[in-house]
Amino acid sequence: MALILPVHQISPQIGENCFLAPNATIVGDVIIGNDCSVWFNAVIRGDVNSIRIGDKVNIQDGAVLHCTYQKTKVIMGNNISIGHNAIVHGCVIEDNVLIGMGAIVMDNAHICSNSIIAAGSVVLENTRVESGTIYAGVPAKKVKDISKELISGEINRIANNYLKYSSWFKNL
């Protein structure tokens, strides 16, 4: 069973139909929606501020979600994939977003809907990622607009796949 701990008498709240890997860690002021998955070695630390996660969000292996004390929160919409070993820190991520493997999203960044942050990218503080775009690099910059095919072919496909993968573990 995942490590789920209260901080200052505030316990994480987990929605329905969620998979939490046995070695995932979720602490403090965290609310996770329905149909979500938190994978192996992922850490969601709502100890210094709040973390809000919508529905059908997958936090893949080794990813870390955290905030800055009394300054920034993590607010995430629906249908989001956070890739392996990504770091999401004190930012807003709207609906239908893919954060690639090993990417870093810093404080006060705002990732608008239908966007992709490429693997290994670093989204600097206060960056606003336009809706319907791909950002890549260090620091991350807009590289192109996303076609409707890429939204359904990548963003939705990955989110749907992780919903399927999590079903493989729920009845063990």
Check residue 46 and give its pLDDT.
98
Proportion of the chain above pLDDT 90, given as a percent: 92
| Banded model confidence at residue 172, pLDDT cuts 50, 70, 90 | low
Among 51, 16, 49, 46, residue whose Cα is nearest residue 33: 16
- Stretch 70-93: mean pLDDT, rounded? 98
pLDDT at 116 over 90: yes
Angle of CA points 91, 8, 22, to nearest 5°: 70
Q: What whole-number distance in Å separates Cα of residue 120 and Cα of residue 139?
A: 10
Sign, CA dihedral 106-140-122-46, equals: positive
Nearest-10 Cα torsion for 25, 13, 156, 85: -20
The DSSP string of 53-65 is E-SSEEE-TT-EE
pLDDT tens profile 137-161: 999 999 999 988 878 788 999 999 9
Higher-scoring residue by pLDDT: 169, 81: 81
Q: Which domains does the chain have, with CATH numbers?
A: 3-167 (2.160.10.10)
